[in-house]
Amino acid sequence: MATNLVEIRRELSLANRIVANEGVIDAFGHVSMRHPDNPNRYLLSRSRAPELVEPGDFIEYDLESQPIREPSVSQYSERVIHGEIYKARPEVNSVCHHHCPAFMPLLATGTDYVPIFHLGAVGGIKPPYWDQHDEFGDTNMLVCKPEEGASLARALGSHWMVLMNRHGVTVAGTSVKDCVFRCVYSARNADYQVRALTIGDRIASLSIGETEMAGNIVVQTTGLTRSWEYWSMRVAKSGGAVAAEAKPAKTRATAAKKKPVVKAKKKSAARRK
Residue ranges that bind Zn ion, judged by CB under 5 A: 168
**CB-based contacts of 83, cutoff 8 Å, min separation 6:** 42, 61, 62, 63, 64, 65, 146, 149
Nearer to Zn ion, 75 or 205 (CB): 75
The CB-of-78 to Zn ion minimum distance in angstroms stands at 5
In sequence order, the β-bridge partners of residue 61 are 42, 67
- CA distances for 46 relative to 13, 32, 57, angstroms: 11, 11, 6
Catalytic choice (11, 54, 78, 148): 78
Nearer to Zn ion, 186 or 227 (CB): 186
CB 156 within 8 A of CB 172: yes
DSSP state of 240: -
Nearer to Zn ion, 187 or 242 (CB): 187
Distance between CA atoms of residues 189 and 118, nearest Å = 9
The closest residue (CB) to Zn ion is: 168
Is 148 considered catalytic here?
Answer: no
Distance between CA atoms of residues 154 and 148, nearest Å = 10
Nearer to Zn ion, 127 or 168 (CB): 168
CB 10 within 8 A of CB 242: yes
| Coil/strand/helix, residue 104 | helix
Distance between CA atoms of residues 10 and 255, nearest Å = 23
The CB-of-168 to Zn ion minimum distance in angstroms stands at 5
The CB-of-29 to Zn ion minimum distance in angstroms stands at 7
The CB-of-97 to Zn ion minimum distance in angstroms stands at 6
Q: Give catalytic residue positions.
A: 78
